[in-house]
Each structure stands twice: as C-alpha cells, then as structure tokens.
Amino acid sequence: MATNQTSVERVDDAVVRSFARAAVLAALMGAAVMVGSIPIPFSPVPVSLGVLVVYLMGLYLGPVWGPASVGLYLTAGAVGLPVFANGTSGLGVLVGDTAGYLWAYLIAALVIGALIHGRGQLENPAETSVPVLAAVLLAALTIIYALGTVWLGYMLKLSTIEALNLGVVPFIPGDLLKIVAAIAIVKGGRIDPT
C-alpha cells in the first residue's frame, strides 16, 4: 500500500487499553450524574452518583488514568456535553461558583490512585483493607469539600461558615453513603482491573 505508513506513530496497546477505560468511565460519570439520583434518608437533597464514579476512577484506573478520566469528563462538559450536575454544560460551569468541587475531582482521583496503587503497576483494590479504603476515600472527600468551599466562598463573597452551609452540609449524608457504596463495590471483588 502506498501510504506514508512509516511516519505513523502507533499508540502502544497497553496505553490504548487504559485510555479506552478512562474515556468510557468519563462517559459513565456523565451518565451517573444524569440518571443516578437516589433519595436518601435525613437529607433534603437527592444525591447523584457522580462522585461515586470519581472514587471508582481513582480506585480502578490508578494515579495516571484516574485523573485523566476526570479530565476527559471536565473537558467534555466544557465543550457542551450535558454531563455536569442536572444536565448542564459549558466552560462557565468550570469557572462558576461550584467549579471548585469539579476541579477537586482531579486531585481526589489522583490522591486515591496514588495511595491505593503507588507508582508501579495497577493493583486489584480488593486487596486493600476496609479501614485503609475508608481513610483514603474520606481524605479524598475532604479535599473535594475544602477546594469546593474555598472557591464557592470566594466566588459568591461568602464567609467560610456560610459557604459550608450552602455547599457541604446538605450533602454530607449522601457523600458518606457513596463512600460506603464504593467500599462495598471494591470488596465485592467482581471487577479486577489488572
């Protein structure tokens, strides 16, 4: 065949595999935000399963492809796919009042991936103990709350307490529930990412 094939730089098969998973999980996150809301006891806000997918990205894709997957999700939303909360999209959401939470997902996935997998090969997260999983996920949630609250306060000129009341307190029960759900998924052991 007379093509300039010698100049084609093939993406390594292992990279393709990780990349495909990152892209499909980014789509799963968009789908979960839209479809996934579950009413929970003791909370006025029904909770979407979006953050659960962030946990899973870190747990199952690791410190490189987990954040990459979040990055694809954010980019897809920025250019107009309806993947942000309540089916919204647009670059404005990524600089708006709730942008801190979204950007924090990147760091959360990175931290979860790094603490569970280290820098080497992907491990099966099912081999991590429950207390460690719980501590790691709580740390990730704390990062999301911290960045989200700081940005919300800055953007809307609110004090820290006011920002916490608006952007964190109503969501605590749902977010804890999602941590328990994430641990149940990992310990269920049905999925092995290695």
Partner 1 sequence: MIEFRSVSYAFDDVPVLEDVSLSIDDGEFVLLAGANGSGKTTLLRHCNGLLTPDSGTVRVDGTPVEDDLIAARSSVGMVFQHPRDQFVSATVGADIAFGPENLGLERTEIDRRVDAALAAVNMTGREDDRIDALSGGEQSRVAIAGALAMEPTHLVLDEPFTGLDDPARRSVLERLASLAADGTGVLLATHDLRDVCELADRVIAMRDGRVVVDGPPANALGDLDGLEVRVPSG
Partner 2 sequence: MLTYEPDDTFAHRLDPRTKLAVQIGFAATALAHPTPWALLVLSALTGLVMAGAGVSLRRTLVAYRFALLVLALAPVLSGVTLGAPWFDRAAATASGLASYRVLLVLLVSAAYVRSTPVRDSRAAIQRTIPGKPGQLLGVGVALVFRFLPVLRSDLRTIRETMAARLGTERGAVDRASTIGMLGLSRAFDRADRLSLALQARCFAWNPTLPPLAFSRADYPVLVVAVVLACSAVI
Contact in structure between 142 and 175 (CB atoms under 8 Å): no
What is the Cα–Cα distance from 167 to 57, expressed in whole angstroms? 23
What is the Cα–Cα distance from 111 to 127, expressed in whole angstroms? 18
1 interacts with, out of partner 2, partner 1, none, CB within 5 to 8 A per kind: partner 1
* Per CB under 8 A, 10 contacts partner 1: yes
The CA-based diameter of the chain, rounded to the nearest angstrom, is 67
DSSP 120: S
Q: Which of 69, 55, 147, 156 is nearest to 102 (CA)?
A: 147
* Per CB under 8 A, 14 contacts partner 1: no
* Per CB under 8 A, 98 contacts partner 2: yes
Shortest Å distance, C-beta 132 to partner 2? 18
Closest CB to partner 2 among residues 80, 118: 80
Quote the distance between the C-alpha of residue 99 and its chain's center. Answer: 14
Shortest Å distance, C-beta 142 to partner 1? 37
Closest CB to partner 2 among residues 119, 190: 190
3-class secondary-structure state, position 1: coil
What is the Cα–Cα distance from 183 to 178, expressed in whole angstroms? 9
Number of residues that bind partner 2 (CB under 8 A): 77
Contact pick of 64, 107, 150, 177 for partner 2 (by CB under 8 A): 177
Stretch binding partner 2 (CB under 8 A), from 90-98, 117-125, 132-140, 143-151: 90-98
Shortest Å distance, C-beta 37 to partner 2? 10
Closest CB to partner 1 among residues 5, 86: 5
Shortest Å distance, C-beta 26 to partner 1? 14
What is the Cα–Cα distance from 149 to 162, expressed in whole angstroms? 9
Angle at which helix 50-78 crosses helix 13-35, to 10 degrees, equals: 100
* Per CB under 8 A, 194 contacts partner 1: no
Shortest Å distance, C-beta 57 to partner 2? 10
List residues binding partner 1 (CB under 8 A): 1, 3-5, 7-8, 10, 13
